[in-house]
Amino acid sequence: MKVALKLDKFVFKGVPTERPLMMAGPCSAETEEQVMVTARQLKSYGIRIFRAGLWKPRTRPDAFEGVGKEGLPWLKRVKEELGMYTATEVANVKHVYDALKAGIDIIWLGARTTANPFAVQEIADSLRGVDLPVLIKNPINPDVELWIGAFERLNRAGITKLAAIHRGFSTYSKTLYRNNPQWEIPIELKRLIPELPIITDPSHICGSRELLYEISQKAMDLDFDGLIIETHCNPEQALSDAQQQLTPENLNKLISRLVLRSASIQNNVLLSTLEDLRHEIDKYDDKLMEIFEHRMAVARKIGGYKKQNNITILQTSRWDEILRNKIEQAEKKGLSEEFIIKIFRAIHEESINHQTRVMNEE
C-alpha cells in the first residue's frame, strides 16, 4: 500500500536538475581554513551544495564530536563568498534553531535521530512554518516503517521538501562495508513513496574510499536521485572518518566515471526483448510459488509427526547441516552466500511457523 505524503520538489538556482544531485564536503567542519579550502575546490569542480557536520553524534565520548555552533559562521561564509548552498545535520531542537538562525539551506536527520520517534517529533514541531528542505537518513536498523514514520512526522508539521538519505544499516555480521547497504530497504521505500527523492551516502555505507565508486554507480543504476559524499581537502588529517573521505579532485574523477542510464525505454526492439525475458522470469517465479507451497505442505506433515512423537520443532543440527550444504551448492551455481543465507533463513522461519500451527492444533 502506497504512503500518501504531500511533497514539493526542491530546486536550487544554479544546481543542475539532472541526476545525480551532488552534495559534498567534509565529515566534520574542523577549522575555518579547512572549510573554505575544501569549499573553494569543490566549487571549482561544479559542486553547489556544501555539506559539513557540526554536531557529530559519536559512539564513544572521547571521539571528536564536532565544533558545534562555532562552525556556523564558517558555513555562512561559504554561502556568502562562494554562493554555495549549505547543509548540516541536526539532532535536537537547539541545533535546529542555531542552524536556522545562521541561514543553513538544508538540514538532515542522522540515522541515530531517525531511530528515535520522540526526537523526530520534537524536531518536526520546531520546524512548523519553516520552508526548508529536510533530508532523513535511514534508521540504524533496517526498519522501513520507522523510516517512513519520520517522513510522516515532518510532513504533518508542514515540511513538504523532503528526501531520503540511504546510508546503510548496522549489522553484527562481518561484511565488506561499514554499514550494509541492504538495497532492498530503499527500493521498498521507493515503491511505497515513488515521488520521494532518494540520495545515497556511499561514504557511510563503505567506510573506505576504495569502495565509493562501486556503491555510487549502483545507486545510479537503481535510478536513485543523488549522492552525498564526504570530501576533505586533506583526508589523511581529518579528525573524523578519515578513511572514507575523498579529496575534491578525486571526487570529480569519481563523478566523471559514473554511467547514467535511462529509466525509460524508447527502443521498441529492446522493450520487446525485455518483455520476453520478464515473461520468462514470471514463469520461474510461478514455479517457485508452487515449490514453496509443496515444501510447506511437507513441513506441516513433519510438524504432525513431531507432535505425535513429542519431538521439539527446532532441530539445530539438521538446520545447520542444511545451511552449510546450500552454501556449498551456491558457490558452484554462481549464487552469493549472502543471498542463499537470506533465502533459506526465510524458508526455515516459514517452515517453523507452519510446524508451530500444527503443534498448536487441538
Amino acid identity, position 218: K
pLDDT higher than threshold 90 for residue 174: no
User: In the prediction, which pLDDT does 316 show?
Assistant: 85
In CATH terms, 21-257 corresponds, of 3.40.50.12780, 3.30.360.10, 3.90.1150.10, 3.20.20.70, to 3.20.20.70
Per the CB < 8 A criterion, the answer to whether 168 and 178 are in contact is yes
Per the CB < 8 A criterion, the answer to whether 75 and 29 are in contact is: yes
Q: β-strand 85-90 against 162-166: which pairing, if any? A: unpaired
Please tell me the predicted confidence (pLDDT) of residue 195: 95
Residue 102: count of CB within 10 angstroms of its CB: 18
1 pLDDT tier (thresholds 50, 70, 90): confident
Kindly report the CA angle at 195 between 191 and 197, in degrees rounded to 5? 95
Would you kindly state where each structural domain of the chain is located, as residue ranges? 21-257, 268-360
Q: What is the largest CA-CA distance in the chain?
A: 79
Q: Which fold has domain 268-360?
A: Chorismate Mutase Domain, subunit A (1.20.59)
Q: What is the pLDDT of residues 54-65, one digit of tens each?
A: 998 877 787 788
pTM: 0.84
What is the percent of the chain where pLDDT is above 70?
100
Report the candidate in 65, 170, 49 with the shortest Cα–Cα distance to residue 107: 49
Number of other CB atoms surrounding residue 47 within 10 Å: 25
Q: What per-residue confidence (pLDDT) applies to 91?
A: 97
| pLDDT per position as a tens digit, 157-172 | 999 999 999 999 998 7
Q: What mean pLDDT is predicted for residues 224-229?
A: 97
Q: What is the structure's pLDDT at 23?
A: 98
CB neighbour list of residue 84: distance below 8 Å, 6 or more residues apart? 39, 42, 43, 47, 48, 49, 50, 78
pLDDT digits (tens, 9 = 90+) for 260-299: 988 777 778 887 888 899 999 999 999 999 999 999 999 9
pLDDT, tens only, 288-340: 999 999 999 999 999 999 999 999 888 888 888 989 999 999 989 999 988 99
pLDDT of residue 16: 85
How far is residue 355's CA from residue 362's CA, in Å, rounded to a whole number?
Answer: 14
